């Protein structure tokens, strides 16, 4: 479990088949078997060597994330799992990416930035104005939305501590929608399908 507050960044050293190697100072405290969110995708450390962490990426993970587009030198957001004693300063992030999306527009304003991001029609109901979404692992607030896109505003502190400052139109990002919204939608859809919701509202 993660919070979407990025504490470290790393650089892709290599990606060969299912193995991803990232150079990062987290090598000092990480061990094989540890979970690390890489751009919001929960991966398991398979090896720690040469100041780098290696991860085995399943075919499912590669197909659902931006991992296939990584190149040597690319920067990535990294987050260690939430400890039970930690404060929940972002929002609940599982590290299970729902889809990838394109950056559509970037608007700079002073030291901050507003970004418009595409979203699929099937996941649009999971977006709520002023609700939470994880974009490449970063916990952000939905500022505004239309049926095929939404915007988020990034403050200077977020731009300084994450890879968001590198985003430009055409960049691909990982999206994880709010887990609470996903559960609510699933239960509501099931109730509507069985007319249970209608029966409840009628009473």
pLDDT of residue 185: 82
**pLDDT above 90: percentage of residues in the chain:** 78
Q: Please give the residue range of the domain that contains residue 135.
A: 99-187
Domain assignment present for 154:
yes
Averaged pLDDT for residues 12-26: 95
74 & 149 share domain = no
| pTM for this entry | 0.90
Q: Do residues 118 and 102 touch, judged by C-beta distance below 8 A? A: yes
Averaged pLDDT for residues 137-160: 96
Centroid of chain to Cα 184: 20
More confident residue, 175 or 192: 175
Domain assignment present for 202:
no
Domain assignment present for 198:
no
Domain assignment present for 175:
yes
73 & 115 share domain = no
Q: Is the pLDDT of residue 190 over 80?
A: no
Angle at 184 between CA 102 and CA 152, to 5 degrees: 30
């Amino acid at each position: 479990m993660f919070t979407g507050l990025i504490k470290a960044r790393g650089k892709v050293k290599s990606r060969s088949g299912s193995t991803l190697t990232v150079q990062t100072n987290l090598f000092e405290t990480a061990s094989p078997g540890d979970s690390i969110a890489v751009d919001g995708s929960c991966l398991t450390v398979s090896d720690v060597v040469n100041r780098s962490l290696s991860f085995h990426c399943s075919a499912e993970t590669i197909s659902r994330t931006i991992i296939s587009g990584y190149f040597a030198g690319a920067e990535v957001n990294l987050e260690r799992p939430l400890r039970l004693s930690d404060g929940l300063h972002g929002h609940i992030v599982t590290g299970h990416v729902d889809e990838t999306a394109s950056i559509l527009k970037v608007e700079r304003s002073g030291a901050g930035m507003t970004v418009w991001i595409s979203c699929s029609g099937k996941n649009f109901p999971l977006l709520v104005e002023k609700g939470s979404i994880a974009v490449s692992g970063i916990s952000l607030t939905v500022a505004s939305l239309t049926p095929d896109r939404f915007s988020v505003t990034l403050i200077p502190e977020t731009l300084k501590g994450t890879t968001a400052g590198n985003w430009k139109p055409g960049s691909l990002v990982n999206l994880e929608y709010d887990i609470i919204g996903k559960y609510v939608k699933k239960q509501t859809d099931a109730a509507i399908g069985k007319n249970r919701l209608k029966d409840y509202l009628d009473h």
